[in-house]
Amino acid sequence: MKTKLGVSVLAIIVTVMTLAQNPQAQPKDASLSMLNEKLVEVSKKVTPAVVNISAQRERASKSLDQMRSPGDPFDENLPPLPKTPDSRISRGSGIIFNEKGYIVTNNHVIKEAGSIKVTLSNKQEFRCSVVGTDPATDIAVIKMDEPPKNLPTLKIGNSDAIRVGELVIAVGNPFGFSHTVTMGIVSATGRQNVGLAEYEEYIQTDAAINPGNSGGALVNIKGELIGINTAIYSRSGGSLGIGFAIPSNMAKQVVEEIIKSGKVVRGWLGVYIQDITKDIAQSFKYGKENGALVSDVMKGSPAEKSALKAGDIITKIDERDIIDVHHLRKLVAWKKPGTSVKVSIFRDGKELDLSLPVGVMPERKAEIIPALDRFDDIGITVKNLTEELAYKWRIKEQNGVVVMRMKEYSPAFNAGMRVGDLIREIERTPIADTKDYKSIMSEHRERKHLLLLIQRAGVNKYVVINRE
């Protein structure tokens, strides 16, 4: 006879209160015992499929902008890095994806690792190699060099079907405590603008998650994988009941793509887009607040070959209503390059349907800093504004240069500037690109105090650079 978990929450609360008031009393029904046994059953089932990861990092000292900040997810090395070459160990968690020894984890767990070792729940240790990474979602896939037979795996659940309030269990390696199990509920779904990755749609949970849980499993009461634990919101470094996990549906797509080709290829239209606000809706005589406004079309992009133009409001992609910018980007990213999509737009009070070709999203290229892009006299390097940088730093402008690197204790650093700031003006002169920046900086090279207009997180701010 099968037992079901569909137990009344009220019945459980009443039972617990009764036992608290009279410890000798026995529950009149098996509600509490059923819940207890179910949690034990799921924990026993899930734990063997979760591994502890130890990644040895070999790297030289880096400039301020390349160091992980204390606010980054699950970085256990919060003090600043030494100024000499160092070797350190990053500890996290991973989930066995299939019996061939593929393991999914977070990119920040194995980033810049020289060697990777995983430990199973039975204490067996295995060396691993990196198969591929996707920094845009903070997902990485590694593989055991010599996987054993009959590796335990988890059934992947449908993360789109989870509901707020559902019981969930987190398994990982918090603070190095092997295969720790914690319980909570789904606090929210579809969390965006957390600032951890380019593509965000996190599950929020209050299950205790701490440093070392990165890459671990978040499962439902059936023991199905519904998320990959990724980050916490914390002012102390420990759990405050706000944790974030990558939904299993998103993770599965990324992992399968990495296993297949070693990387993730995303669809791309090549447009600058922004969310619809009340003011924008009113200005465009658009009666809704969903969708995404096209602020510009990139030269040489797939969108340029279509009839789409600045000022259009994209309302649907292949008949799916667009909620906001993030939703549009996600839908387009998973379209196959070389195909076309039907795009519904609002233009001049009319609804129109267009067909847009889908291109390949340009790959993120490693930053090679040539001699002319070394730190300037105020201690920064800058780059022209691109679509990728606009998305990464939430920039809505079309002109300006982005601060890419910053020297510690430089004039720019002392003025409070940060990597990701958009420089819009120098001494009240607008900046369009790096050519303008270099020209105007050269023009004012003798000025001791330099006035800059920057934009950060959509807010303009004047800063004064003191060169003395």
Query: Do 52 and 91 contact (CB within 8 A), yes or no?
Result: yes
Structure tokens at 145: 């060099």
Q: Answer whether residue 242 shows pLDDT above 70.
A: yes
Query: Do 169 and 182 contact (CB within 8 A), yes or no?
Result: yes
Active-site residue identified among 54, 159, 214, 239: 214
Active site residue 138: yes
Active-site residue identified among 65, 138, 206, 312: 138
Summarised one tens digit per residue, pLDDT across range 397-407 is 778 999 998 98
- 21-38 burial, b for 16+ CB within 10 Å, e for fewer? eeeeeeeeeebbebbeeb
- DSSP symbols for 264-333: ---EE--EEEEEPPHHHHHHTT---S-SEEEEEE-TTSGGGGSS--TT-EEEEETTEEP-SHHHHHHHHH
Name all domains of the chain by residue range, CATH numbers in brackets.
Answer: 35-262 (2.40.10.120), 267-360 (2.30.42.10), 371-466 (2.30.42.10)
Spatial distance between the Cα atoms of 151 and 120, rounded to a whole number of angstroms: 10
pLDDT at position 235 is 62
More confident site: 247 or 66: 247
Query: Do 358 and 302 contact (CB within 8 A), yes or no?
Result: yes
Active-site residue identified among 65, 90, 93, 108: 108
Query: Which residues lie below 8 Å from residue 241, measured CB to CB, with a gap of 6+?
Result: 184, 187, 206, 208
pLDDT at position 424 is 92
What would the 3-class secondary structure string for 347-362 be? Answer: ECCEEEEEEEECEECC
What average pLDDT does range 198-206 have in this prediction? 86
Given pLDDT bands bounded at 50, 70 and 90, which one contains residue 444? very high
Lowest mean pLDDT among 52-56, 97-101, 294-298, 318-322: 294-298
Lowest mean pLDDT among 118-127, 280-289, 432-441: 280-289
Summarised one tens digit per residue, pLDDT across range 245-274 is 999 999 999 999 999 988 888 898 988 888
Query: Do 364 and 383 contact (CB within 8 A), yes or no?
Result: no
Question: Which stretches does DSSP call E strand in 371-416?
Answer: 380-384, 401-406
Query: Do 135 and 107 contact (CB within 8 A), yes or no?
Result: yes
pLDDT at position 1 is 38
Q: Answer whether residue 122 shows pLDDT above 60.
A: yes
Summarised one tens digit per residue, pLDDT across range 309-353 is 888 999 999 989 998 888 898 889 888 888 999 999 999 889 999
Alpha helices in 123-227 (DSSP H): none
Spatial distance between the Cα atoms of 100 and 463, rounded to a whole number of angstroms: 55
What average pLDDT does range 371-396 have in this prediction? 78
Query: Do 306 and 342 contact (CB within 8 A), yes or no?
Result: no
More confident site: 239 or 245: 245
Active site residue 214: yes
pLDDT at position 82 is 38
